[in-house]
Structure 1
Amino acid sequence: MDVLADVVSVLRTGPAASARTDVRGPWGLRFSHSFGASFHLVLQGTAWLLPSGGAAPVAMGPGDVVLLPRGLEHAIADHPDSPLVDFDPENVVPAQGEGARALLLCGTYRLDRERPHPMLSKLPDVVHVPADPGRHRTLHTTIGILGEELDGNRPGAAAVVPALVDALLVLILRAWFEDHGCPTESGWSRALTDPAVARSLELIHDRPGAAWTVADLAGDVGLSRAAFARRFTEAVGEPPLTYLSRWRMTTAARMLRDHDQPLATVAKEIGYTSEFAFAKAFKRDFGIPPGTYRKQLTPA
């Protein structure tokens, strides 16, 4: 089981929305708060990301990508002092100046905000992956192909671009965790690279309905119960069985959202012996019974 891919798949609630933006300076675009995760690619030229709250501007060059996991209000411009206009996805080309050209791809990933996963909730407000020729070749190759497709108006681009944008979220996160991984620090960078913790997460994600105990997981990764519990908690931020309960409920929410199986089937899939026990646990976490949760997601 690929934990990173599984987490992203569960949290995604729909396809990404993106817009090609071709501008000449001076220009500046203001983005309101998004309920997903905002992203920007600089395909040609340069730009400045201007976070809200007085955070320092981020200089961006060709091939750079930024992800704002919490979709906070922000702006992007050719210069920190350039005047800003509200970004309109229906009219993505602002007034053209006579300065340098920039080609951008701006968009949003639709993510479940009701139950954020700690992998994403622990990320900084701005994730910046600069174009480094020596690192993250798959990510930067994908960005390069996106640039060619968006700037070339070639047949089939309408099918190619959405697929590449969808893949980009995992590539950005993978690059960030690889750049910030440290075996002596806590966090998901460590969780995905520590062999024992990563293996235990794979087991949980592969079989969330199994009757896991801390001793079972510890034995499968070759550690004592105490040593495993300590390493897992330090890396993930919560004890193994707490994470297991969280992931079971997250998996249940996805099943209720994406499928129409009976509640008893959902309960069994995530490790509950009865529909009643599952419904009680689900209501404790989400505040409403699973049947009500499903009805709220069903179009009228």
Structure 2
Amino acid sequence: MTRSAPFAQWFAAVPSAGFHIVLQGTCWLLPPRGEPVALGPGDVAFLPRGSAHGLADAPSTPVSEPPPMPTGVHDGRGAEASADRPPTVAMLCGGYLLDGSAPHPLLDDLPEVVHLPTRVGRHSELRAAVELLGVELAGNARPGSDTILLTLLDLLLLYILRAWFEEQRVSGHAATGWAAALHDPAVAAALRAVHEDPGRQWTVEELGARARLSRAAFARRFTHLVGQPPLTYLTWWRMTTAARLLRTSDAPVDTIARQVGYSSQYTFAHAFKRQYGSPPGTYRNHVGRSTTPA
């Protein structure tokens, strides 16, 4: 996206996590609450809950909330950059479709706007992902571009989250919620085991062994930091994984059930309906296939 001053563009609230990355120039992000955020070259702004917001060349440029518009269409007060109007800002903008019925608690710990200003020597992985995205989007359609873009967008999200938590640690803010869980070596080891192999028939004892804690000590620590007991979280992660596979693959329901640890399709369907309100087949037909938008 390129814009020439003066401009003020409104982005309505959406059920997705959005991001803006400044490639060239400067602009301001106008949140619905709080002070405007100055964005410069290399800055990343991440909105984990898809909050309504504006982008403008200056905080004083008028922007008012537009009437409801079709999805993907925004009110752009200002002109696209052209030969006669050199760009004030060039940005990479995108979003991630979220499963609103089972949001990850990690996103709840983030502020409405995550601002990651560019700093020399900091967050090199995030900068590399941004540069690679720019290369893929700037070039002509080349073999594998769609797959590469999807992979880079997934990496971008992970690097944004990693950078945010590193910023909190460096600034001296005590980790809370999921940030504390991820920074706790014992709990992080158990989470990594569950995420890598949700289909395994984990027990609290096994997960405690991964964490190098006794069963009781591990259960108390995990529940305190994650907010739910280990096996409750395991079930939640299995259903979250199953929902993603139903949305993004054509694998039969019984195959997905086995992948997430259920030998009985009936037991799997019952557990899935308890979390999502509908059986797996109905859920798949309702949501259809989805991909991460660029």
TM-score, with length taken from structure 2: 0.81
Aligned-pair distance for 1:186?
2.8
Q: Secondary structure at the match of 1:25?
A: strand
Aligned-pair distance for 1:36?
1.3
| Distance change (3 Å), C-alpha of 1:44 and 1:157 | farther
Q: Letter of the aligned partner of 1:276 in structure 2?
A: Y
In the alignment, structure 1 segments of 5+ residues that lack a partner are 1-20
1:244 and 2:224 are equivalent in the alignment: no
Aligned-pair distance for 1:111?
2.5
Report the equivalent of 2:279. 289
Q: Letter of the aligned partner of 1:240 in structure 2?
A: P
Higher alpha-carbon deviation: 141-150 or 279-288: 141-150
Work out which of the residue numbers 21, 30, 36 in structure 2 matches 1:57. Answer: 36
Work out which of the residue numbers 28, 33, 38 in structure 1 matches 2:8. Answer: 28
Q: Secondary structure at the match of 2:190?
A: helix
Q: Letter of the aligned partner of 2:52 in structure 1?
A: E
Aligned-pair distance for 1:156?
5.5
Task: Spell out the pairing of 1:188-203 with structure 2 (5 A cutoff).
Answer: 188-203=178-193
Higher alpha-carbon deviation: 260-269 or 106-115: 260-269
Aligned-pair distance for 1:178?
2.1
Q: Secondary structure at the match of 2:193?
A: helix
Task: Spell out the pairing of 1:239-278 with structure 2 (5 A cutoff).
Answer: 239-278=229-268
Report the equivalent of 1:117. 104
Deviations 1:54-98 (A, max 9, x none): 222111111100111111110011211202376975997932697
Q: In structure 2, what is the Cα distance between the partners aligned to 1:275 and 1:32? A: 40
1:94 and 2:73 are equivalent in the alignment: no
Report the equivalent of 2:93. 106
Q: Letter of the aligned partner of 1:65 in structure 2?
A: V
Aligned-pair distance for 1:262?
3.7
Q: Secondary structure at the match of 2:278?
A: coil
Q: In structure 2, what is the Cα distance between the partners aligned to 1:265 and 1:191? A: 31
CA RMSD of aligned residues (A): 3.1
Work out which of the residue numbers 195, 210, 220 in structure 2 matches 1:220. Answer: 210
Q: In structure 2, what is the Cα distance between the partners aligned to 1:146 and 1:213? A: 41
Deviations 1:96-132 (A, max 9, x none): 6979821122222223222211122332211111101
Report the equivalent of 2:55. 76
Work out which of the residue numbers 116, 121, 128 in structure 2 matches 1:141. Answer: 128
Report the equivalent of 2:25. 45
Report the equivalent of 2:155. 167
Contact 2:199/2:238, CA 8 A, preserved across alignment? yes
Q: Letter of the aligned partner of 1:50 in structure 2?
A: L
Work out which of the residue numbers 191, 197, 201 in structure 2 matches 1:211. Answer: 201
Q: Letter of the aligned partner of 2:30 in structure 1?
A: L
Q: In structure 2, what is the Cα distance between the partners aligned to 1:209 and 1:99? A: 54
Aligned-pair distance for 1:145?
5.1
| Distance change (3 Å), C-alpha of 1:249 and 1:50 | same
Q: Secondary structure at the match of 1:42?
A: strand
Q: In structure 2, what is the Cα distance between the partners aligned to 1:229 and 1:183? A: 26
Q: In structure 2, what is the Cα distance between the partners aligned to 1:269 and 1:63? A: 40
| Distance change (3 Å), C-alpha of 1:165 and 1:206 | closer
Contact 1:232/1:239, CA 8 A, preserved across alignment? yes
Contact 1:188/1:236, CA 8 A, preserved across alignment? yes
Q: Secondary structure at the match of 1:192?
A: helix
Deviations 1:135-159 (A, max 9, x none): 1012123334555777xx5556894
In the alignment, structure 2 segments of 5+ residues that lack a partner are 290-294
Q: Secondary structure at the match of 2:10?
A: strand
Identity, in percent, stands at: 48
| Distance change (3 Å), C-alpha of 1:204 and 1:23 | same
Q: In structure 2, what is the Cα distance between the partners aligned to 1:123 and 1:29? A: 24
1:67 and 2:67 are equivalent in the alignment: no
